[in-house]
Amino acid sequence: MKKIAWLAERGDNMVGAGIYNEILPLPEYQIDFFSHQSEIYDMMNNGYDLFVIGLCVGGDDLLSYPLIDAIRANKKTKNTPILVHSTNADMPKHELEIRERDVSVLHKPHDGNKLRRVVRALI
């Protein structure tokens, strides 16, 4: 079974994650939801096939660039696809910098079908 690590954007919560379970019915994937980027650092080597990361994740670094860079620098995860999943308000000024890191971008809001298509295309 393919595994997805999903880091909620700041302001999202586990209730929001439950909503994602409803709009992203992908029974062929195990989706682990995280609320803080430190959890991803701790779990990075657990064999994830995709990282879905909000751009503004909070914590010590408001933006997720250091986390993305750490995933890319890690020998076990450097080729694992990353999808930045964020609101339109966050993205325009950051999209180029994100794509330069070889990371896919999906703007919120969107419908669940688009999200499913992007996830399936990445893994």
pLDDT tens for 3-23 read 999 887 655 555 455 555 555
Written as one letter, the residue type at 3 is K
CB atoms within 10 A of CB 33: 19
User: pTM of the full predicted structure?
Assistant: 0.83
Rounded average pLDDT over 108-117: 76
pLDDT band of residue 37 (cuts 50, 70, 90) is confident
Residue 92 has pLDDT above 60, yes or no: yes
Q: Where are the alpha helices (DSSP H) in the chain?
A: 14-23, 37-43, 65-73, 95-100, 112-122
Asked if 70 contacts 44 with a C-beta cutoff of 8 angstroms, the reply is: yes
CB atoms within 10 A of CB 106: 17
Which has more confidence, 20 or 45?
A: 45
d(CA 65, CA 85): 13
Query: What is the CATH number for 31?
Result: 3.40.50.2300
Residue 94 has pLDDT above 80, yes or no: no
Most confident of 7-11, 50-54, 87-91: 50-54
Structural domain boundaries, residue 46: 2-122
Query: What pLDDT, on the 0 to 100 scale, is given for residue 122?
Result: 93
Average pLDDT of the chain?
A: 79
Number of domains in the chain: 1
Residue 102 has pLDDT above 90, yes or no: no
Query: What pLDDT, on the 0 to 100 scale, is given for residue 22?
Result: 56
Query: Please, which residues bridge with residue 84 across strands?
Result: 53, 105
